[in-house]
Copies of this chain bind each other. A is one copy, B any other.
C-alpha cells in the first residue's frame, strides 16, 4: 500500500484505446427499435443523426477501439486526470475504510463530458458536418460540446433545460464564450418545443424534451448532426478512459477497490469508471459496483425495465432500459445532470443481470456530504458528483460500524463552480428534498 495521497500517470500512460464491453456480455443487448415501425434498427437508420464511425462504435463487436491521434492531442490538455486518496475525509469520518476518488473536474469544461465530446466532434468533422445540435441539463454537456466543437471548427447549438438555464446562467455564458448558441428548452425553435409550450407555457423543461428539440433540429438540417452526452454505448465507450486510468492508478496505490461508485443520470461517468471493472466481474473476480441516483428521478431504483423512447416527443429510437416514462418531468433539483427519465441500456442490462447495484439519495444528505468533502479534501464538488460522495461516505461509515477496512473508489465527475447558488441555498436552509411520485 502506497504512503502517497495522489497518483498520477505520464502522458505515455493515457489509454490509446477505448474498452468495449459489448462482446463480453453474457447475453446481448436488446436491439434499438425504429420509432415509427418498431422494427429493429439498422445502422443506416441512424445516419440522419450520427456519422458512420460513431454508429459503428455503437454496435461494435471489437473489444478495443483505437483512439485517433487528433483526439489524444486534445485529451492531453487535461488527461490523465489525478486519482486521490481522501485521507482527510477518512480521518473526519474516523473510518478504517480507504477512500479513493478519480477527479474528472480538471478538464476545461469542468467535468468528464469532454472525454466523449472531443471524439464526437472529431468524427463529425471528418464526416463533413458543419454544425452539432444537442441538449444539456445542468450545462456540463453543452459546455463540453461547445468547447470540443470549437476546437474542431464546428458550430454548436444547445437546447438547455429551462430550470438549469435559469438557475445556472454562468454555464450558458461559458457556452457563449466558446461560441456555442444556447436556447432555453422548451423553445420556440422546434415543433417539439412549440407543442410543449402550447400545452405547458411555464414548463421547467426536462432532458427528454431538450433531446426532442436537438434531434428534430439535426434531422431537419442536412449539414447538422446530433450529439448525445450520455446513455448510448458509444458515449460510455469513450468514457472508459476514466476506468482504465483508475486501474493503473490503483495499482500505484497498491490496493484493489472493493466497491466502485458513480453518480447516475444517463450513465456516462458511471459507465466510464465502472465498465473496465465490469469486465473483471464478468470474468468472475470484480468488485461491487454501485450506481447512485437522485430520489427525485430514480430510474434504476423505481423505473421499469422495458422499451421506451429516449425523448419526450418520441423522435428517438426505442431502447430497452430502466425508465420512469418518456413524459416524466422530474422536480427541479440542483443536480440537473441527473434529471433524465431513462438510463443507459447497457448499464440497465448490467443492473438487470445483477452485476450493478443501484441506490437513491435526496438532495439534502447529498449536499451535507458535498460540504463535508469540500471542507476536508478542499475540492468543491458538483451536486451530481456529490451523490457519489454521499454513497462513498455511507460505505465508509458502514466499514466503521463493522470495524473492518474497505477500499472504496468513486468518480468525482466534476467541480461545483457553477453550482454555488445551490450551496448558498443549502447553507441558508432554503434547500428542500423531493421524492419521486409515480404519475
Contact = CB atoms under 8 A, between A and B. Distances in A.
Nearest to A151: B378
A254 interface: no
Interface string A235-278: 00000000000000000000000000000000000000000000
A25 interface: no
A147 B179 CA distance: 33
A375 interface: yes
B5 A8 contact: no
Interface string A423-434: 110010000000
Nearest to A418: B417
Interface in A167-191: 169-170, 173-174, 176-179
Contact of A176 (B88, B108, B174, B427): B427
A111 to B, nearest CB: 12
Interface string A408-426: 0000000011101101100
A374 interface: yes
Nearest to A143: B380
Contacts of A418: 170, 417
A6 interface: yes
A88 B77 CA distance: 12
A411 to B, nearest CB: 18
A110 B8 contact: no
A232 interface: no
Interface in A134-158: 147, 150-151
A376 B377 CA distance: 32
A69 to B, nearest CB: 12
A76 interface: yes
Contacts of A371: 177
A11 interface: yes
A424 to B, nearest CB: 5
A73 interface: yes
Contact of A427 (B108, B177, B420): B177
B170 A420 contact: yes
A417 B170 contact: yes
A4 interface: yes
Interface in A328-377: 371, 374-377
A106 interface: yes
Contacts of A374: 177-178
A437 interface: no
A10 interface: yes
Given A77-B378, A378-B77, A420 B151 contact: no
A375 B10 contact: no
B420 A6 contact: no
A246 to B, nearest CB: 18
Interface string A62-103: 000000000001101100000010001000000000000000
A375 B179 contact: yes
A379 interface: yes
Contact of A6 (B76, B174, B376): B76
Given A6-B77, A150-B375, A174-B420, 16 more contacts: A4-B11, A6-B76, A8-B10, A106-B106, A108-B378, A108-B379, A150-B378, A170-B418, A170-B421, A173-B420, A173-B424, A174-B417, A176-B427, A177-B420, A178-B374, A417-B418
The 10 A-B pairs with the shortest beta carbon distances in the complex, nearest first, are: A173-B420, A417-B417, A108-B378, A170-B420, A173-B424, A177-B423, A108-B379, A6-B76, A150-B375, A177-B374
Interface of A: 4-6, 8, 10-11, 73-74, 76-77, 84, 88, 106, 108, 110, 147, 150-151, 169-170, 173-174, 176-179, 371, 374-380, 416-418, 420-421, 423-424, 427
9 contacts: A8-B11, A74-B378, A108-B380, A150-B375, A150-B378, A177-B371, A177-B427, A178-B374, A417-B418
